[in-house]
Amino acid sequence: MNMSMTQPVSSPSHPVVRSLRVCRLGTALTGTVAVPGDKSISHRALMFSALAEGETRIVGLLEGEDVLRTAQAMRALGARITRENDGRWHVHGCGLGALHEPADVLDMGNSGTAARLLSGLLASHGIMSVMTGDASLRRRPMKRVMDPLAATGATFLAREGGRLPLAIKGSATPAPLTYRLPVASAQVKSAVLLAGLNAQGQTQVEEPVPTRDHTENMLRHFGAHVTVEETPEGGRIVRLEGKPRLIARDVTVPGDPSSAAFVLVAALLVPGSDVIMTNVGLNPLRTGLFTTLREMGARLDVTNERTEGGEPVGDLRVQASSLQAVDVPADRAASMIDEYPILAVAAAYATGISRFRGVEELRVKESDRLASTVALLEKNGVRTKVDGNDLIIYGTQGAIPGGGVVETHMDHRLAMSASVLGLVAENPVDIDDTVFIDTSFPGYFALFNNLGAGFAAA
């Protein structure tokens, strides 16, 4: 048993807190596991099937809190959504343009993806809605979607600085948008494209740096006409023809590479480990971490590569490796944006000084992940420096002191990163709250226990 838990205690921002102490693991992680379904793809599967005509069956949907919020919201907007005992989800869509006005406030919990993508749909339907979220989501910027979406003819009313709660009076006759993304964000791109579904004519989004393209892939799967042009500068222009006939199509959700990242780094760092993860999504716009870890010297092999539901998937084998420092270029950030906290743990354990360039987007995630990742490492005896928008980490050559109390700030990725750090640190690591792991990785501790981590709670 390498961990102890306190009793749940109440807090003003969320009712249950689960703190945790993690001690160094003396044995290897071994075995074969399947990580839960991809969060990005799961949100989209529910939203797009809710707009389609007919019944969609979804296999492998992530049943994490964030995605369950999307399911709840799409029900409130008129879709019929059920879950079978075998884990399959069925969605009877209402048809494009036919979303119902929700009778109550839509609570998107902890999920930026749910809130931002839904804004695009709500802006382009002639209904009135109000959206809110938990204390973390209510701190996150919504102006990045409100600004482009206002040009559809929709009206937004938000708190100071464009924060939730947000009231949206959608446009019954939305204008199609042409927009160049000022930040590399798949959520903003998707919000604009989703607004374009119910607009007459062509919607166009230009992204200077390619971001995850699950929206484009899945809209095509449901019958929309979407084209992608690569620009000479390395960006992309995505064009969508408005008012497509969206027809229900079954969806298979691959394992989430962003969840696999935690198992992957743990297996690289814990001596003697040898782990296989089956059915992991390998979309090239999501695999920047794999590239980076290989540059550090990771033994990471992909087998059984295939395409499922329009997305590349494969099995990953990872073996404990001795890692060297890495210099991660800024133009790789979009393809591994959620993986920086766990990469920071790998860099802290590695030999040499690592630099993650251009990671300013980390400041607007569930927590300010630049600040919270720095605090995670510093409190556990690892030196760091923030240089403009770059994060520098001084590797400890396998000797992370540990002994710190980590504040996770309602951020699942911080909690999971801290737990992996605790498995390899010299002294026990205390984590203030692990509850938010359920937003993206239900069954996290049980899955690790199957590999031999010995966590006491799940």
Ligand X SMILES: C=C(OP(=O)(O)O)C(=O)O
Residues known to be catalytic: 338
* 96, 215, 290, 368, 372 from 408: Cα distances, Å: 39, 30, 25, 10, 7
58 lies in the site for ligand S3P, by CB under 6 A = no
Q: Which does 186 bind (CB under 5 to 8 A by kind): ligand X, ligand S3P, none?
A: ligand S3P
Burial of 286 by CB count in 10 Å (0-12 exposed, 13-18 middle, 19+ buried)?
Answer: buried
Interaction residues for ligand X, span 315-344 (CB under 6 A)? 338
Region at 441 (left for phi over 0; alpha for psi -120 to 50; beta for the rest): beta
CB nearer ligand S3P, residue 29 or residue 194: 194
d(CA 340, CA 359): 9
d(CA 49, CA 91): 6
CB nearer ligand S3P, residue 252 or residue 321: 252
211 lies in the site for ligand X, by CB under 6 A = no
Q: Which residues of 164-174 are buried (b: 16+ CB within 10 A; e: fewer)?
A: bbbebbbbeeb
Binding test (CB under 6 A) with ligand X, winner from 365, 402, 433, 441: 365
- The residue behind tokens 């969060």 is 39
State the DSSP code for 354. E
| 139 assigned to a ligand binding site | no
Interaction residues for ligand X, span 81-140 (CB under 6 A)? 111-113
**Min separation Cβ 303 and ligand X, Å:** 27
| 338 assigned to a ligand binding site | yes
Q: How many CA atoms lie within 13 A of 323 on its CB side?
A: 37
For the chain, the helix, strand and coil percentages under 3-state DSSP, each to the nearest 5: 35, 25, 40
Q: Which does 369 bind (CB under 5 to 8 A by kind): ligand S3P, ligand X, none?
A: none
Residue 152 tokens, joined? 């559809």
Residue 218 tokens, joined? 């899945």
Q: Which residues of 429-453 are buried (b: 16+ CB within 10 A; e: fewer)?
A: bbbbbbbbbbbbbbbbbebbeebeb
Q: Which does 111 bind (CB under 5 to 8 A by kind): ligand S3P, ligand X, none?
A: ligand X
| Segment interacting with ligand S3P, rule: CB under 6 A, options 25-33, 184-192, 390-398, 401-409 | 184-192
Binding test (CB under 6 A) with ligand X, winner from 65, 366, 407, 430: 366
CB nearer ligand X, residue 287 or residue 396: 287
**Min separation Cβ 239 and ligand X, Å:** 25
The mark string for 75-114 relative to ligand S3P (x by CB under 6 A, - otherwise) is --------------------------------------x-
| 19 assigned to a ligand binding site | no
**Min separation Cβ 253 and ligand S3P, Å:** 13
Number of residues that bind ligand X (CB under 6 A): 9
CB nearer ligand X, residue 249 or residue 412: 412
142 lies in the site for ligand S3P, by CB under 6 A = no
Torsion of CA 341, 212, 116, 63, to 10 degrees: -70
| 332 assigned to a ligand binding site | no
Burial of 382 by CB count in 10 Å (0-12 exposed, 13-18 middle, 19+ buried)?
Answer: buried
Burial of 160 by CB count in 10 Å (0-12 exposed, 13-18 middle, 19+ buried)?
Answer: exposed
What is the edge-to-edge ordering of all strands in the sheet holding 128-132? 106-107, 128-132, 163-169, 155-159
d(CA 362, CA 372): 10
CB nearer ligand S3P, residue 263 or residue 337: 337
| 140 assigned to a ligand binding site | yes
| 159 assigned to a ligand binding site | no
Q: Which residue is nearest to ligand S3P (CB)?
A: 40
| 57 assigned to a ligand binding site | no
Q: Which does 64 bind (CB under 5 to 8 A by kind): ligand X, ligand S3P, none?
A: none
Binding test (CB under 6 A) with ligand S3P, winner from 3, 18, 40, 267: 40
CB nearer ligand X, residue 335 or residue 440: 440
The sign of the dihedral angle between the CA atoms of 52, 58, 62, 63 is positive
CB nearer ligand S3P, residue 212 or residue 409: 212
d(CA 141, CA 145): 9
Q: Where are the alpha helices (DSSP H) in 231-333?
A: 257-269, 288-296
**Min separation Cβ 19 and ligand X, Å:** 21
| 413 assigned to a ligand binding site | yes
335 lies in the site for ligand S3P, by CB under 6 A = no
369 lies in the site for ligand S3P, by CB under 6 A = no
**Min separation Cβ 126 and ligand X, Å:** 27
The residue type of 151 is A
**Min separation Cβ 302 and ligand S3P, Å:** 22
| 39 assigned to a ligand binding site | yes
Enumerate helices (H) and strands (E) in the chain, giving the number of each. Answer: 12, 24
What are the residues binding ligand S3P (CB under 6 A)? 40, 113, 185-187, 190, 212, 337-338, 361
Residue list for the binding site: 39-40, 44, 112, 140, 185, 187, 338, 365, 369, 413
